[in-house]
């Protein structure tokens, strides 16, 4: 038997051995999803990111024909959730949902791996313009412009240590003369309770979280933190409008583990795109002050990288404080 014949037989044997495996892979993506999907959220239940994820999960369940559940993994500025994703199977059944605050963790030394080494983005799903800085009604200023002019006023700003929220507070403090004492309180809910309890004067939260207390008059809004005025409170001026040259824009985005097959990502992405156009979801999002969007591919990647840079610059301020 000549060498050419041997090689031909080996090639045929190889094809026979691997043909079932390739068939199984194709079949897996065609049948996807065959069981429930879990979305990991790096935030505690009750906050804006958790609420947003649960809205998406509800409509994804309808679109995909499988249950989509939320797994809360808060802590360490998103590192707990990212560590969970590092060991999650890359098969389309475990996803990650977050804001951009985790994007610069590797640049500021909170994690060894970058988000790109752990996650494969599916899409940006929501724009957040309703993050605001609230204050107790007794606070003697109504804007940061007033605080800048009032040399006799000193305030306590509730923050979550090591996060973008703290970096933003540092930046505002620098711009207003350094008359705010930044104190760690934890999550958005904890920060708001600190203000309501009189243990702090200011905190950054969403309009949705503070809604009842704003309506009751216990809290007031000092400023919006994005480039645009808060959609739920267009009467509130932005930091930039108050002479504070700072803006923090944020979005929610969804991702799979890095090695998730592209065909599964594409199938999930198609379903997600339909969900984000659902008028029922848009109505639910209104309660959170979030605008549903669907930006994927290079557009989403470029936006996430830009957010990474801004987040890094804000976090550098924390190190210098």
Burial label, 90 (beta-carbon count in 10 A; 0-12, 13-18, 19+) = middle
Tokens of 304: 């996430």
Q: How far apart are CA 74 and CA 254, in angstroms?
A: 16
**pLDDT tens-digit map of 57-110:** 999 999 999 999 999 999 888 999 999 999 999 999 999 999 988 898 888 888
pLDDT range class, residue 230, cuts 50, 70, 90: confident
Q: How far apart are CA 309 and CA 317, in angstroms?
A: 13
Q: Where are the domains of the chain?
A: 37-129+249-320, 131-242
Among 105-109, 211-215, 239-243, which is the least confidently predicted range?
105-109
| Residues 244/144, Cβ–Cβ less than 8 Å | yes
**pLDDT tens-digit map of 9-61:** 545 544 544 455 554 545 567 899 999 999 999 998 987 899 999 999 999 99
The CATH topology of domain 37-129+249-320 is D-Maltodextrin-Binding Protein; domain 2 (3.40.190)
The CATH topology of domain 131-242 is D-Maltodextrin-Binding Protein; domain 2 (3.40.190)
Q: Could you identify the residue written with the tokens 């923090």? A: 248
At residue 5, the pLDDT reads 52
| Residues 238/228, Cβ–Cβ less than 8 Å | yes
Tokens of 261: 């097959």
At residue 3, the pLDDT reads 47
- Alpha carbon 189 to chain centroid, angstroms: 16
Residue 94 sits at φ, ψ, to 5 deg, of -135, 120
Question: How close are the terminal C-alpha atoms of the chain, in Å?
Answer: 78
**Residue 52 CB coordination number (10 Å):** 25
**pLDDT tens-digit map of 142-201:** 999 999 999 999 999 999 887 777 888 999 999 999 999 999 998 888 999 999 999 999
Beta-carbon contacts of 208 under 8 Å, excluding residues fewer than 6 positions away, are 48, 51, 130, 232, 287, 288, 289
Q: How far apart are CA 2 and CA 273, in angstroms?
A: 56
pTM for the structure as a whole: 0.76
At residue 131, the pLDDT reads 87
At residue 6, the pLDDT reads 45
For residue 116, what is the DSSP state? Answer: H
**Same fold? 37-129+249-320, 131-242:** yes
At residue 316, the pLDDT reads 77
């Amino acid at each position: 038997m000549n060498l050419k014949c041997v090689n031909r037989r080996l090639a045929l044997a190889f094809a026979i051995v691997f043909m079932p495996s390739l068939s199984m892979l194709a079949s897996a993506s065609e049948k996807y999803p065959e069981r429930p999907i879990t979305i990991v959220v790096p935030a505690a239940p009750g906050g804006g990111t958790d609420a947003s994820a649960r809205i998406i999960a509800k409509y994804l369940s309808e679109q995909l024909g499988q249950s989509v559940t939320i797994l809360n993994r808060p802590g360490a500025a998103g590192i707990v959730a990212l560590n969970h994703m590092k060991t999650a199977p890359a098969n389309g059944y475990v996803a990650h949902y977050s804001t951009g605050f985790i994007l610069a963790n590797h640049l500021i030394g909170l994690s060894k791996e970058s988000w790109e080494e752990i996650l494969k983005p599916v899409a940006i799903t929501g724009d957040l313009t309703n993050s605001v800085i609230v204050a107790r009604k007794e606070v003697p200023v109504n804007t940061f412009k007033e605080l800048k002019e009032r040399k006799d006023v000193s305030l306590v700003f509730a923050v979550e240590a090591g996060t973008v929220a703290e970096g933003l507070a540092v930046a505002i403090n620098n711009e207003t003369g350094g008359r705010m004492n930044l104190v760690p309180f934890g999550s958005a809910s904890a920060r708001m309770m600190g203000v309501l309890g009189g243990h702090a004067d200011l905190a950054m939260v969403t309009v949705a979280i503070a809604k009842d207390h704003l309506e009751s008059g216990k809290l007031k809004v000092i400023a919006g933190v994005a480039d645009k005025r808060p959609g739920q409170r267009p009467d509130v001026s932005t930091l930039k409008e108050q002479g504070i040259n700072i803006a923090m824009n944020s979005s929610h985005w969804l991702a799979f583990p890095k090695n998730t097959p592209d065909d599964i990502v594409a199938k999930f992405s198609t379903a997600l795109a339909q969900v984000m156009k659902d008028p029922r979801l848009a109505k639910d999002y209104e309660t959170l002050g979030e605008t549903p969007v669907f930006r994927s591919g290079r557009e989403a990647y470029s936006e996430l990288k830009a957010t990474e840079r801004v987040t890094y610059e804000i976090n550098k301020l924390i190190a210098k404080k």
